[in-house]
Amino acid sequence: MESKFDLGMDIICVKQYQNIEPNTRCHINGCGNLENNSMARGKSGYGYGIRHYVYDSINKKIHEFEYFLTEKEIDEYFITEEEAYQAHMRDQKISQIIN
């Protein structure tokens, strides 16, 4: 099965994942066998490394978080930018029909 996700893509969170809230944009910065990555902690199989940036307005700093997700997890919690655009266009058409 070929995945819709790939290295270098920006993705959109659709369901809360740890401290990543829905509608948050993240970046896929790595992919491969999670067993070969010591930071993936207990995950196995093919997966993705994603980066999430959070701005701390009090200290005026950007904090970077990295997560490792299996194919199943990334498919459950994230969509591609293309899917987000298609959903937006669908919602606009529905809104035009209703109003």
Q: What is the pLDDT of residue 3?
A: 83
Does the pLDDT of residue 1 top 70, yes or no? no
**Does the pLDDT of residue 98 top 60, yes or no?**
yes
Classify residue 63 by burial, with Cβ atoms within 10 Å: 0-12, 13-18, 19+: exposed
Query: Tens digits of per-residue pLDDT, 16-67?
Result: 999 999 999 999 999 999 998 888 888 999 999 999 999 989 999 999 999 9
Are 9 and 20 in contact by the 8 Å Cβ rule? The answer is: no
- Report the predicted TM-score, pTM, of the whole model to 2 decimal places: 0.84
